[in-house]
Amino acid sequence: MKIKPIIVVSGEPYSVFLEIFFKSKKIKRIKKKILLIVSKKLLLSQMKILKFNYKLNIIDPKKINFNNLSNNKINIIDVKFNHKKTFDKISKKSNKYIEQCFSLALDLLNKNDYAGLINGPISKKNFLNKKLLGMTEYISEEFSVKKNAMLIYNKTLSVCPLTTHLPLKFVAKNITKNSICEKIILINKFYKKNLNKNPNIAVLGLNPHCESVSSYNEDEKVIKPTIQHLSKLGHRISGPFPADTIFLNENRKKYDVILGMYHDQVLTPIKTLFEYNAINITLGLPFIRISPDHGPNEQMLGKNLSNPLSLIQAISFMDKN
């Protein structure tokens, strides 16, 4: 059986991604070959300053032969990037380069000959327009996927926010039966297909202690009836639970996934618990897409102190699936 290569997009050029990529390659040995889409000039300059030494294998995207990919070298597709500094401030000047990298990667993924996509962190403020809340939505739009979910995955416990990078004042109006059902179905499908597991899912309430002084309580009116509906359909699901106690050890160990109503409600505790030992997986795409669960970390550029664990976990997950 042919082992499909992993496509890696380096993402924001002025991020710590190439540093953690160099470290990951040094630490982690994998079966699948990696094809990195990046500026050759930028890669070489950062490699020199950070004192890594890898040989490159330059690949023509129009003449890709999987037999020519190497596990000992860094296989790259060179995307031209006119930069004056090896490390610079993140700005919109990089957008064209990032778009070219993703365009090339998504074109290759359309051919269905690849294991999936890992991308480096992106500055959402600079790269995305106001209609797209994050890279989950950006890549989903490129593949005309309307139903997606952001799963922050750890083998012990994962979380999924119902709404992603949405201002808090808009969260309540976006909590609906359909949106909750959509996320739960995507989570179940992913766990069964990729992990051979029927996950046990906890759902959080929106309001403190799942109570509200308002005449309209989303926890009672929307979330609780939806959980009951999904439970009758056979899903292992329960709640709504108060967000301030669900992550206590005796509570969280009962569940595989916790679905929260908004981004920081679940990402803050999961990052506190696991720090870099988690990965961001987009559910609903026709392929596996993963990114390290951290941002570009601009202030750490060139210091050679960044932790590669999240990228190592992303590569390991992709290598096993």
Tokens, residue 220: 């009672």
pLDDT at position 298 over 90: no
Amino acid at 79: V
The dotted CATH code for 1-145+285-321 is: 3.40.718.10
Counting Cα atoms < 13 Å in the Cβ hemisphere of 302 gives 10
Tokens, residue 65: 């032969």
Buried-state track 261-281, b at ≥16 Cβ within 10 A, e below 16: bbbebbbebbbebbebbbbbb
Q: Give the ranges where the chain is alpha helix by DSSP (H).
A: 17-27, 40-50, 95-109, 124-127, 135-142, 177-195, 218, 224-232, 249-252, 263-274, 309-320
- Residue 231 · residue 197 · CB < 8 Å: no
Residue 204 CA to residue 195 CA, distance in Å, equals 24
Residue 142 CA to residue 21 CA, distance in Å, equals 25
88 sits in the region (left: phi over 0; alpha: psi -120 to 50; else beta) called: beta
- Residue 35 · residue 146 · CB < 8 Å: no
CB under 8 Å to 178, separation ≥6 — which residues?
none
Q: How far is CA 8 from the centre of its chain?
A: 13
pLDDT digits 0-9 by tens, 253-292: 999 999 999 999 999 999 999 999 999 999 999 999 999 9
For residue 143, the model assigns a pLDDT of 85
Torsion over CA of 69, 285, 298 and 16, rounded to 10 degrees? -20
Return the domain boundaries, the chain: 1-145+285-321, 149-276
- Residue 26 · residue 72 · CB < 8 Å: no
pLDDT digits 0-9 by tens, 130-183: 667 788 888 888 888 999 999 999 999 999 999 998 999 999 999 999 999 999
CATH architecture of 149-276: 3-Layer(aba) Sandwich (3.40)
Residue 293 CA to residue 279 CA, distance in Å, equals 5
- Residue 251 · residue 245 · CB < 8 Å: yes
Residue 94: closest CA among 298, 294, 279: 298
- Residue 271 · residue 19 · CB < 8 Å: no
- Higher per-residue confidence, 304 vs 132: 304
Residue 91 CA to residue 306 CA, distance in Å, equals 21
94 phi and psi angles, rounded to 5 deg: -90, -5
**Could you identify the residue written with the tokens 């995207």?**
61
For residue 172, the model assigns a pLDDT of 95
pTM: 0.94
Sign of CA dihedral 218, 224, 229, 230: positive
Task: Assess whether the region 1-145+285-321 and the region 149-276 belong to the same CATH fold.
Answer: yes
For residue 181, the model assigns a pLDDT of 98
pLDDT average, residue stretch 209-235: 93
CB under 8 Å to 92, separation ≥6 — which residues?
126, 127
pLDDT average, residue stretch 61-85: 91
pLDDT digits 0-9 by tens, 248-257: 999 999 999 9
